[in-house]
Amino acid sequence: MSDLKKVESSSVSIKSTTSTISFTGSIRSKLDVLKEKIHRSNEQRKQNRMEQTSMRTITEYLALK
């Protein structure tokens, strides 16, 4: 009888651990997606700054002529 309880307990423990691992993997995936979005956003911001600087430089150059 106690062996059956041990097996049931082990089964519950394995299910719980599997569920936790699955949940952790899901969170990790979501974090990876968020990191990628942040990275793309930062790259876009950098690109926009470079374009603004270029436009300012061109405008200043044309103003000097």
Tens of pLDDT, residue by residue over 16-49, are: 888 888 888 899 999 999 999 999 999 999 999 9
Spell out the domain ranges in the chain: 1-65
Q: What is the C-alpha separation between 44 and 60, in angstroms, rounded? A: 24
Whether the pLDDT of residue 60 is over 70: the answer is yes
* pTM, two decimal places: 0.59
CB burial readout 21-53, b (16+ within 10 A) else e: eeeeeeeeeeeeeeeeeeeeeeeeeeeeeeeee
Which residue, chain included where needed, has tokens 């394995």?
14
Whether the pLDDT of residue 1 is over 60: the answer is no
